[in-house]
Structure 1
Amino acid sequence: MIDIKPNSKKFNLKHLEKLEQKLGALFPQEYVQFLEDYNGGEVENNIIELHSEEIESFSLSTFFGTKVEYINDILSCYDTFKKRIPKGCVPIGRDVGGNIVCLNLNKENFGNILLWDPDIELDFEENEMEIQDLYYVASSFHDFLHMIKPYDPEEDDLDGYEVEEVWIDPDFLKVLKGNE
């Protein structure tokens, strides 16, 4: 498993239990143990390779924790995204591109790790997105942790990766060009 820089704030079980009550579901013990050990944290220079045609890989930046800064707090993130991600999914981390790593707490495929790309929600009406609309990553949190591999962009070959599309805000482009 790759090194994870733990959060400096201590794990808060009551905070997690509050989320479990909201969900009506318990978290897998392996995930609770991770929170007890790390309470979220940062992951640098890593890659997670997927068996997907749409997303070949991603790089994790942050695991969410309990009673930490709002943007990385698991309960706050759940409240932010609960109407945008499928029911029973809980955001547990973020990749460097802003995609959200989710833990499935539904009875079917309980414990699966999924990746939610906020861009795909544009194709759906509110609360219409379902589990199968997210990208499958791993069957358990344990398996997910072992998928995270070190990555050094200077040493690793990027052949096969191509930029397909780039968008830049027109007003920001003016600033870059010095027209404003």
Structure 2
Amino acid sequence: MSFKRIKDKLDQYTIDIRSTKTNNPLNEMKKIEENGFHISSDYKSFINEYGECWIEDNVYTHLREKPVWLVGELVPVELFYGLEQNDYDISESIKTYKEQLPEQIIPIADADGGDLICLDVSEINQGKIYFWDHELRDGEQDLFLIADTFTDLLKGYL
């Protein structure tokens, strides 16, 4: 799916873009990649176009792997982090969740109730998208696969 088709899909929703685009998003993303993170091109295109943004419609995504507590298979996606050097900055979110997430997983969006949507930035699984349940601890599985790519995440919106 080309980025134009992704943009067409997102244009179906009310999106409140919070990014001021005062910084060059791709340069900011390169700084994040200097930490050894492999960021997928579809996610970079999204950040370049939308940056920090709220999806004001009720948007849900399917989980391919499902926590036992979840009724149904859907989780909400509310806010995508940007590069604005504020509370919703990707770099700040990486620092905030460094002790709770595996080092190859970075938070990219808020789900409901403190949960996160995360991106795998490892070389092997680059671009896979996960749901992180903030309440599961002590060795319990807390990451659940949503999609193989960021594009697939966006295509799956309901």
Whether TM-score is above 0.5 comes out as yes
Task: Tell me by how many angstroms 1:46 deviates.
Answer: 1.4
- Distance in 2, Cα, partners of 1:103 & 1:50: 14
Give identity over the alignment, percent: 29
Of 9, 34, 48, 1:21 maps to 34
Q: How does 1:85-164 map to 2 (within 5 A)?
A: 85-121=101-137, 123-124=138-139, 133-149=142-158
- Number of residue pairs matched? 140
Q: Which has the larger radius of gyration?
A: 1
Question: Counterpart of 2:84 in 1: which secondary structure?
Answer: coil
Give the equivalent residue in structure 2 for 1:63: 80
TM-score w.r.t. structure 1 length? 0.71
Higher helix share: 1
Give the equivalent residue in structure 1 for 2:51: 39
Stretches of structure 2 that go unaligned for 5 or more consecutive residues are 1-8
| One-letter code aligned to 1:67 | E
- Distance in 2, Cα, partners of 1:9 & 1:89: 26
- Contact 1:60 1:95 (C-alpha < 8 Å) held by counterparts: yes
Give the equivalent residue in structure 2 for 1:84: 100
Task: Tell me by how many angstroms 1:40 deviates.
Answer: 2.5
Task: Tell me by how many angstroms 1:25 deviates.
Answer: 2.5
- Distance in 2, Cα, partners of 1:63 & 1:43: 8
| One-letter code aligned to 2:109 | G
How much is the aligned-residue C-alpha RMSD, in angstroms? Answer: 1.9
Give per-residue Cα distances to partners, 1:104-151, cap 9 Å, x unaligned: 011232210001111112x23xxxx8xx641100000000011111xx
Stretches of structure 1 that go unaligned for 5 or more consecutive residues are 150-180
| One-letter code aligned to 1:30 | D
- Contact 2:104 2:120 (C-alpha < 8 Å) held by counterparts: yes
